[in-house]
Amino acid sequence: MSRALVTGGGGFLGTHLVERLESAGHDVFVPRRRDYDLTRFEDAERMYADARPELVFHLAAEVGGIGANRANPGRYWYANLMMGAHVLELSRQHEVQKTIVTGTVCSYPKFTPVPFHEDDLWNGYPEETNAPYGVAKKAVLVGAQAYRAQYDMDVIFLLPANLYGPRDNFDLESSHVIPALIRKMLEGEREVVLWGDGSPTREFLYVDDCAEGFVLAAERYDGAEPVNLGTGVETSIRELAETIADLTGFDGEITWDTSMPNGQPRRQLDASRAAELFEFRARTSLRDGLERTVAWYRDMARTPA
């Protein structure tokens, strides 16, 4: 049992992680953005003073799909870099026993050999539409390793695949592809327009599996090297759209707007390091996870505000 601080604990992954930590008996402090702006050092400093953490999970991020990344490149670079730097420095000052930092697959080079192995992180520049976000997160990895080397801090860095599941962000202005498709197809649109040609591939990790991976890493891993969390299964955006159409009963038209960017051509993680180091293996198949997510959104849509 410990006092755990979960930045971003009110968000998508955060709420699932907080539930796991609390069920295990941890005393969890969940800061709210309205109370603590982690891009401001004085706010982050006050958060640490209030939380008095022994264990920190840094999940807070400013992130979105391709459209949101194209619209906010400067903000995404600045906010994610500053939040990560503040968390590292304040964990050092407060002598936190262990800090778990969330990275992103957007940090991998655009043409990384598939499957992505952690050793490939520095072999090229990220895909352009989300490069500012990916580079900021990669800089936080450098900081984590530097703090370990100079201050002997126990900081670990995890790289989850694209997450999905209940409580995801379904706002069409900033959501990722799975919640956007589910919402559009369930709301009765006769045509769903998707960017690109459907050929890019992604790897999707169910949010509960990811939360389990974070807990296992916190308990069992103390190394400097970054670790992927994923399923090892590659799925094309076209196949994903067809699966969601089947699960939602969508019988309208799926149109591909090839004037818009595809994003990174392929994404699939080598998840062997997580299995070897802390015995993490994803349990939920994509179809099963999508079915649960669709059911959750249907229930939410029926519930009065």
Active site residues: 133
CA distance 287 to 270: 21
Q: Which residue has the tokens 């604990």?
A: 9
Q: Which of 102, 106, 111, 109 is nearest to 134 (CA)?
A: 106
Contact 196, 156 (CB under 8 A): no
CB burial readout 168-194, b (16+ within 10 A) else e: bbbeeebbbbbbbbbbbbbeeeeebeb
Cα(115)–Cα(298) distance, integer angstroms: 34
